[in-house]
C-alpha cells in the first residue's frame, strides 16, 4: 500500500514537472477572477475539505508571533473527518468557520477586534455558542503582524497556503513561500486546470486548480519530501471542493450571532 501511495505521488509530481517545461506564465488565465476577488477582499467562499486534519502535537512548529490561520489540529471533534468551511470577507471584516453541521470553530474579525467561538448543535438541533464560556465571548486584539507575514487566512494552514499561492508575489504576506505558475491544460473529463509549484530545500509543493466551465470547483495540493539524491521519499496531499466562490460578502456572517455577547473588560482603577 505504501509503495502504491509513493508511486501515485511520483506520477502526480512528474506531471507538474512536464507542465513546467511546456507552459509559459505570461498569459491571463481562469484564476484571474478569483485572484482579483482575494485581492479586493470582498467575497464569500464555501468549500469542503475531504482530507483529514492530523492532530497537532507538542512537536509541531510553534511561531512566536502566533498563526493567522485556525488551529483545527487542536480540536478533537474535527480530527480525522471531512470538514465544511465558510470564509466571508468585506475588507476589514472577516469571518471563518471550519467544522460540520454539529460542531464548528469560528472566528469573527471586526477591524481591530477578533472573536473566537464555537458553534455546537445538539440532537434536538438546538444551537449553542461558546466563547470564553457559554453565551459569552472575549474581544481579542487582531494579530496584524501575523496577517502581514502569513497573509489572509482561509481556514486551516494548508488551505490558507493553497489559496494564497495564486496571488502575485508582491501582494502576498512577507513570509509566504513563492509559487510559480508551471502549467495548464484540459483533462479527459472536461475539466481544465492550472498548476503552481514552489521549491524549497529538500521539498517542493505542487498545487492544481480545477475548473468546470471556467468555474473553480476543486483545488488539490501535494507536498513532497526528497532525499539527498532528489528522489521523492514521502509526501502528503490535500483536496478541497469549492461549493461557492462569489464576489459578495454574506453580511449575516459578519456580526456576532444572537445568543453570544461580548464580555465587558474591567477597567483598571
The per-residue pLDDT for range 5-35, each reduced to its tens digit, is 454 454 455 454 444 444 444 446 899 999 9
> Which residue is it, cell 444572537?
258
Between strands 261-262 and 136-137, the pairing is parallel
Predicted confidence (pLDDT) per residue in 192-203, tens digit: 999 999 988 888
Does 151 fall in a domain?
yes
Output the pLDDT for position 139.
95
Positions in the chain short of pLDDT 50: 1-2, 4-5, 7-8, 10-11, 14, 16-27, 57-65, 268-269
Residue 191's CB is within 10 A of a number of other CB atoms, namely 14
User: In this predicted structure, what is the pLDDT of residue 166?
Assistant: 95
Question: pTM of the entire structure?
Answer: 0.82
Grid cell 474579525 is found at 109
Say what the pLDDT of residue 200 is. Answer: 82
Q: Is 9 helix (H, G, I), strand (E, B) or coil?
A: helix
Report if residue 267 sits inside a domain: no
Q: What is the pLDDT of residue 201?
A: 82
DSSP state letter for 53: P
Q: What is the pLDDT of residue 78?
A: 73
In a domain, 156, yes or no: yes
- Domains: count for the chain: 1
Domain coverage including residue 222? 2-262
**pLDDT at residue 266, rounded to an integer:** 60
Please report whether residue 269 resides in a domain: no
Q: Which residue has the cell 492544481?
A: 208
Give residues with Cβ within 8 angstroms of 251, minimum separation 6: 90
Is there a domain that residue 189 lies in?
yes
Amino acid at each position: 500500500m505504501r509503495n502504491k501511495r509513493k508511486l501515485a505521488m511520483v506520477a502526480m509530481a512528474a506531471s507538474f514537472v512536464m507542465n513546467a517545461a511546456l507552459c509559459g506564465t505570461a498569459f491571463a488565465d481562469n484564476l484571474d477572477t478569483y485572484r482579483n476577488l482575494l485581492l479586493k477582499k470582498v467575497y464569500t467562499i464555501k468549500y469542503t475539505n475531504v482530507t483529514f486534519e492530523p492532530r497537532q502535537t507538542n512537536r509541531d512548529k510553534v511561531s512566536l508571533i502566533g498563526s493567522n490561520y485556525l488551529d483545527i489540529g487542536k480540536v478533537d471533534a474535527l480530527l480525522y473527518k471531512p470538514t465544511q468551511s465558510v470564509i466571508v470577507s468585506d475588507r476589514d471584516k472577516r469571518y471563518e468557520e471550519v467544522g460540520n453541521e454539529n460542531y464548528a470553530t469560528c472566528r469573527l474579525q471586526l477591524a481591530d477586534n477578533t472573536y473566537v467561538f464555537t458553534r455546537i448543535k445538539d440532537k434536538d438541533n438546538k444551537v449553542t455558542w461558546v466563547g470564553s464560556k457559554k453565551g459569552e465571548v472575549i474581544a481579542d486584539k487582531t494579530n496584524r503582524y501575523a496577517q502581514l507575514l502569513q497573509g489572509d487566512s482561509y481556514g486551516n494552514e494548508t488551505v490558507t497556503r493553497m489559496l494564497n499561492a495564486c496571488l502575485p508575489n508582491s501582494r502576498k504576506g512577507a513570509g509566504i513561500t513563492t509559487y510559480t505558475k508551471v502549467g495548464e491544460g484540459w483533462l479527459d473529463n472536461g475539466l481544465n486546470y492550472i498548476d503552481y509549484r514552489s521549491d524549497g530545500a529538500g521539498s517542493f509543493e505542487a498545487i492544481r486548480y480545477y475548473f468546470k466551465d471556467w468555474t473553480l470547483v476543486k483545488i488539490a495540493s501535494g507536498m513532497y519530501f526528497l532525499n539527498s539524491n532528489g528522489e521523492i521519499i514521502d509526501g502528503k496531499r490535500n483536496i478541497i471542493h469549492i461549493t461557492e466562490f462569489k464576489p459578495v460578502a454574506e453580511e449575516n456572517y459578519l456580526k456576532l450571532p444572537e445568543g453570544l455577547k461580548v464580555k465587558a473588560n474591567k477597567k483598571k482603577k
